[in-house]
Structure 1
Amino acid sequence: MINTLSGRFLVLTVIFVMVAEILIFLPSIARFREEYLLARLERAQIASLNLLAAGEMIAPEVEQELLRNAGVLNVVLRRDVARELVLSGPLPFPVGQTVDLRDDRAWVLIRDAMSRLINPEPEVIRVLGQPVMGGGIQIEFALDSRPLHAALLEYGRNIFWLSLMISAITAVLLFMAVRRVLVMPIRKLVDQMDRFAEAPEDARRIVTPASSVVELRAAEEALSAMQSQLSQSLKQKERLAQLGGAVAKISHDLRNILTTATLLGDRLESVDDPTVKRVGPKIVNSISRAVSLCEGTLAFGKAEESPPALTRFDLATLAEDIAESEQLAVAADVVSISTDIPLGMQVRADPDQLHRVLGNLVRNARQVIAATGTPGTITMCAHEDARAWWIEIVDTGPGLPPRAQEYLFQPFQGTARKGGTGLGLAIAAELIKGHGGTLTLKETGPNGTTFCICLPRDGILEIV
């Protein structure tokens, strides 16, 4: 019970109500004590005025009866300057406390009331006050503390039981209200979560926000959005798994076809046509890379991307080859592809994988610029320092849309053009990560986009 939300709320409610009752009890018992003494003061004044009105001596028995009816031991009334003992009786105990009812400060009243409540020792209390209805200058009387202590105890017990009853009723009502308004909706939400967890692919089990409580509705909306995203992700992963199986089969057959094309392409070297001699090797290289890609796809279906075979090579030569190959696919007056890489700059990487990365980035930029119908340029530039080699692909295209930036490097989501799959950037990022480097979007906007590749010299990049 105590470990439940309802149980803890019940206990806290009882505690808080009792604290409130204590805060109410302190001034309440102080007021009760003050009214108790004021009532004795009025009775003592009435008894003394009756005696003074008689104008003659009265029998001791009558005087004691007046004192008993007033609830006091003696009365001293000051009507003029003189102080006169009007009614007197024996004092059973010495005077232990003097109380001035004319001092009505709250903290003084509370202090004296609590002091009397916790002090059971009998004593005589001397009380000073202002006579009511102009009955004199000052009235003074003495009383036994025991009846006052008993009355305070009785009042305290009544207040305690009343507070306990109020606390119990309040706690039960609040418990039922909280259980109805808060606990039951939360439990219902938990049940819906458990139901969704049994079959997260089933969109019918996604939570439908329906609570009228603002906070609970916000929780339901957040949970619904998360479940929708999770359900879509699971469906997408299932489709990707199916697609992976299909791609593996296609890659197997395509590899065989491309192997035959490679054998046929080798015969182009014997043709004397200058154009064929210039284009033939590029075709053969492209087919070889396609075969390598098919083999890599088959390997990826079994495990992860194969680790890079690191070697040193001339980056400018690789970039020129990519620029020439991509330039063949588009007129130079539509998209101009160029390189700005220092001659003789040697990088340590896998040439085939870096070729795939740069080829994907340049191809994406070329297709986006060509789709706009506005001429543009693509430049591959590079520099190096003591820590790493830095390669940038800069284009003057329209920039990446917001969705592409949000899901950058995620398969089937981070595409910047209609009909694209978003695989190119995902593959490129994974290949560069295999080198221990990073592929980042440096900047994008209406004036163009810049991607930056960082290849660490020692194979481990520490970003500062």
Structure 2
Amino acid sequence: MLARLLRKPGRMGPVTGLSSRLLVMTVFFVMLVEVFVYAPSVARFRVDWLEQRVSAAQLTVIALEATPDASVTVELANRLLDQVGAHAIVVPPTATSVRRGIFRDMPPAMDVSLDLRDPGFFTLISDAFGTLIHGGERVLWVKANAPSLVGGRVDLLIDEAPLRRAMIAFSWRILGLSLLISFLTAALIFVTLRWMIVRPLREIARSMIRFKENPEDASRSEAPSARSDEIGLVRRELAAMEATVRQALRQRARLAALGEAVTRINHDLRNILTTVSLLSDRLSGSDDPDVRRVSPTLMAAIDRAVQLCQRTLDFAREGGPLLKRSRFALAALVEELKPILSAPNGREFTLENAVDPALEIEADRDLIFRVLSNLGHNAAAAGAARVTVTATVEGGQTMISVTDDGPGLPPKAIANLFQPFAGAGRSGGTGLGLAIARELMRAHGGDATLVRSDASGTVFRLRLPIAEGAAAPQ
């Protein structure tokens, strides 16, 4: 339904709307419940109707026994039978009494015998529907308890047609009442759900449509709801999601602008740095020992400037890195990091390679080198004296841990970790190193995460899926 709303804003058919479906479903389910209520109700009505005839028959027998010779004229007998609605009323004989009762001159033959003395629940329901289905043409012989008569029993011979007409009239009354209850209940539920659910959902849908039309317009944001139920939770989460997406779009626009600017100046900057590099090479051959001494430092500074420019350009460029996978020993790659990692200001720094020499991974060698280099440079710049690289294989994943003994990351850096230009852990940093490391690991189908960072040091974990068919080291 939401997708339909997003395709056609503001348009909703009278039948396809959620409100209409709720109305129809409510009426349907209430009527379904009424069907289950109707079956025992019509069976009870049938028993009550028959028991009324039994009560009238008891009174007739009592009046008959009050006569001097327990007999009446044929005309009076017919009138009494008409009053009861029966063709015959019979009191079966007992050990102390004979059979007695009144009959019409030519009573019809019995079709069905009914015993009301100990009926079962499902038997009553089955007999009731039998009366409705068979058309009322049968003649019933009804056996019932009669506590006020000698022998405690009375039998009646009656037509089924009056009973069936009364049951049909009762059914119509039940149907009318059920429809009234259904529509009243449906109307109340419809209004309640429309106010509590449908209306807020439509507002959420309209907010999503407005956000889709112009995500960067803050005036189109979903207002956080004060409701404490699921609808309120959805609106609050939607408002938070829109704010996050808007912030990401703005950051992406800034990065795109930055990438465009760096692209434009990159060519000129490289030419300038190339000229400076050539001059630095000539300075390294100078006879002045002081000039020769500062030349390597100058060259290193120029190289770092070129690398920073290129790294910023690579990060701002759209599209993920192109992987050139190969299979190589991870320990050998870590060994290549040792000559290029050093602490600033000449501090002592050690890279410990604790990776199993037999462990091989399948990945882009240059990109994994770049990831480890970024983490190593960050650790050295943060004040670490030792960085240890270990690796294990766990559940189809190669887990590479980079542990340092530095002072740990500041809380602000941890809160914005892996975010470019926001997650720098030291003064003057850009935060691009960790952002690029995570991007490169995710390009391999893995990830880069922070395990811990405290006064004892910092641990980063790199997760790299093992390629199919690759064997783990024995």
TM over 0.5: yes
- Alpha-carbon distance in 2 for matches of 1:125, 1:355: 99
Other structure's SS at 2:337 match: helix
- Alpha-carbon distance in 1 for matches of 2:78, 2:372: 117
TM-score (norm: length of structure 1):
0.80
Q: Do the aligned partners of residues 16 and 90 (structure 1) sit closer, same or farther apart at CA in structure 2, a change above 3 Å counting? A: farther
Contact 1:75–1:142 (8 Å) recurs in 2? yes
2:343 equivalent in structure 1: 327
Q: CA deviation at 1:246?
A: 3.5
1:378 equivalent in structure 2: 386
- Alpha-carbon distance in 2 for matches of 1:455, 1:214: 41
Q: Do the aligned partners of residues 21 and 184 (structure 1) sit closer, same or farther apart at CA in structure 2, a change above 3 Å counting? A: same
Answering whether residue 16 of structure 2 is matched by residue 3 of structure 1, we say yes
Alignment of 1:182-201 (within 5 A): 182-201=197-216
Q: Of 6, 9, 12, which aligns to 2:25?
A: 12
Q: Of 55, 71, 74, which aligns to 2:88?
A: 74
Q: CA deviation at 1:63?
A: 0.7
- Alpha-carbon distance in 1 for matches of 2:273, 2:421: 26
2:35 equivalent in structure 1: 22
1:216 equivalent in structure 2: 231
Q: Do the aligned partners of residues 96 and 403 (structure 1) sit closer, same or farther apart at CA in structure 2, a change above 3 Å counting? A: farther
Q: Do the aligned partners of residues 159 and 91 (structure 1) sit closer, same or farther apart at CA in structure 2, a change above 3 Å counting? A: farther
- Alpha-carbon distance in 2 for matches of 1:204, 1:382: 50
- Alpha-carbon distance in 2 for matches of 1:316, 1:20: 73
- Cα-to-partner distance string for 1:262-302 (whole Å, 9 max, x where unaligned): 12211332246778656634642552453365457557767
2:132 equivalent in structure 1: 117
Aligned AA (2:23)? L
- Alpha-carbon distance in 2 for matches of 1:310, 1:129: 94
Alignment of 1:340-419 (within 5 A): 340=353, 357-368=371-382, 370=383, 376-379=384-387, 393-399=402-408, 409-417=418-426
Answering whether residue 433 of structure 2 is matched by residue 424 of structure 1, we say yes
Q: Do the aligned partners of residues 297 and 101 (structure 1) sit closer, same or farther apart at CA in structure 2, a change above 3 Å counting? A: closer
Give structure 2 stretches of 5+ with no counterpart: 1-13
CA RMSD of aligned residues (A): 4.3
Q: CA deviation at 1:451?
A: 4.3
- Cα-to-partner distance string for 1:17-58 (whole Å, 9 max, x where unaligned): 111111221121111111111111111111121121112332
In terms of mean alpha carbon deviation, does 128-137 or 447-456 score higher? 447-456
In terms of mean alpha carbon deviation, does 139-148 or 425-434 score higher? 425-434
Q: Do the aligned partners of residues 83 and 205 (structure 1) sit closer, same or farther apart at CA in structure 2, a change above 3 Å counting? A: farther
2:195 equivalent in structure 1: 180
- Alpha-carbon distance in 1 for matches of 2:131, 2:219: 70
Contact 2:136–2:164 (8 Å) recurs in 1? no
Other structure's SS at 2:63 match: helix
Percent identical pairs in the alignment equals 36
Q: CA deviation at 1:140?
A: 1.4
1:373 equivalent in structure 2: none
- Alpha-carbon distance in 1 for matches of 2:149, 2:77: 23
- Alpha-carbon distance in 2 for matches of 1:227, 1:80: 90
Aligned AA (1:40)? R
- Alpha-carbon distance in 2 for matches of 1:341, 1:108: 84
Q: Of 434, 457, 460, which aligns to 1:448?
A: 457
Aligned AA (1:34)? V
Q: Do the aligned partners of residues 8 and 184 (structure 1) sit closer, same or farther apart at CA in structure 2, a change above 3 Å counting? A: same
Other structure's SS at 2:173 match: helix
1:59 equivalent in structure 2: 73
Q: Do the aligned partners of residues 406 and 140 (structure 1) sit closer, same or farther apart at CA in structure 2, a change above 3 Å counting? A: farther
The count of residues paired between Structure 1 and Structure 2 equals 449
- Cα-to-partner distance string for 1:363-389 (whole Å, 9 max, x where unaligned): 311333x3xxxxx4223658999x999
